[in-house]
Amino acid sequence: MTPLAPLVTSFFREHLSAEKGVSKNTLTSYSYAFKFLCKYAAGRLGKTPSQLFLEDLDARMIRDFLEHLETRCHNTARTRNLRLTAIRSFVKYIAYEVPSALEQVRQIRAISNKRVQERLINHLTREEMNAVLDVPDPGSRAGIRDQGMLYLGFASGLRASEIVGLRLDDIELDGPYPSILVRGKGRRLRRLPLWKEAARALRAWLAVRGSAPAPEVFLNARGEAMTTSGFSYVVKKHSRQAAHATPTLSDKRVSPHVLRHNAEFRIMPNPVSRCASLAALAVSYSA
- As a whole number, mean pLDDT of residues 145-174 equals 90
Q: How many CB atoms lie within 10 A of CB 236?
A: 14
Strand ranges across the sheet with 179-183: 171-172, 179-183, 189-193
Q: What is the pLDDT of residue 166?
A: 92
Is residue 120 predicted with pLDDT exceeding 90? Answer: no
Distance CA 160, CA 150 (A): 10
62-76, 179-193, 272-286: which range is least confident on average? Answer: 272-286
Do 146 and 103 share a domain, yes or no?
no
120 in a structural domain: no
> Which of 82, 109, 136 is where one domain is finished?
109
- As a whole number, mean pLDDT of residues 74-97 equals 95
Q: Is 141 a catalytic residue?
A: no
Q: How many CB atoms lie within 10 A of CB 33?
A: 21
- Please tell me the total count of domains within the chain: 2
Active-site position among 88, 190, 236, 257: 257
119 in a structural domain: no
Q: What is the pLDDT of residue 58?
A: 97
Q: Is 119 a catalytic residue?
A: no
Do 69 and 25 share a domain, yes or no?
yes
Q: What is the pLDDT of residue 183?
A: 81
Is residue 271 predicted with pLDDT exceeding 70? Answer: no
> Which of 109, 140, 159 is where one domain is finished?
109
Do 68 and 41 share a domain, yes or no?
yes
61 in a structural domain: yes
Q: What is the pLDDT of residue 282?
A: 44
84 in a structural domain: yes
Do 23 and 84 share a domain, yes or no?
yes
Do 82 and 130 share a domain, yes or no?
no
Is residue 279 predicted with pLDDT exceeding 90? Answer: no
Whole-model pTM over 0.75: no
121 in a structural domain: no
Q: Is 196 a catalytic residue?
A: no
Distance CA 14, CA 50 (A): 19
Angle between helices 141-156 and 196-209 (to 10 degrees): 150
Which pLDDT band holds residue 190 (cuts at 50, 70, 90)?
confident
Q: What is the pLDDT of residue 124?
A: 83
Specify burial of residue 279 (Cβ count, 10 A radius: 0-12, 13-18, 19+).
Answer: exposed
**% of the chain residues with pLDDT over 70:** 89
83 in a structural domain: yes
* Cβ-Cβ contacts under 8 Å for 120 (sequence gap 6 or more): none
Q: What is the pLDDT of residue 261?
A: 73
Do 171 and 99 share a domain, yes or no?
no
- The predicted-structure confidence for 11-39, as pLDDT tens digits, reads as follows 999 999 888 888 888 899 999 999 999 99
- The predicted-structure confidence for 204-239, as pLDDT tens digits, reads as follows 999 999 888 899 999 999 999 999 999 999 999 999
DSSP classification of residue 171: E
131 in a structural domain: yes
Do 220 and 266 share a domain, yes or no?
yes
Active-site position among 13, 126, 185, 188: 185
Which has more pLDDT, 122 or 216?
Answer: 216
**% of the chain residues with pLDDT over 90:** 60
Q: The domain containing residue 16 runs over which residues? A: 4-109
Active-site position among 83, 145, 159, 238: 159
Distance CA 163, CA 218 (A): 8
Q: What is the pLDDT of residue 155?
A: 81
Do 247 and 132 share a domain, yes or no?
yes
Is residue 286 predicted with pLDDT exceeding 60? Answer: no
For residue 175, the domain's CATH number is 1.10.443.10
Active-site position among 15, 83, 209, 260: 260
Q: Is 257 a catalytic residue?
A: yes
Do 87 and 147 share a domain, yes or no?
no
Q: What is the pLDDT of residue 22?
A: 85
Distance CA 34, CA 87 (A): 8
Do 91 and 159 share a domain, yes or no?
no
183 in a structural domain: yes
Do 150 and 280 share a domain, yes or no?
yes
Specify burial of residue 257 (Cβ count, 10 A radius: 0-12, 13-18, 19+).
Answer: middle
> Which of 79, 109, 139 is where one domain is finished?
109
Do 55 and 156 share a domain, yes or no?
no
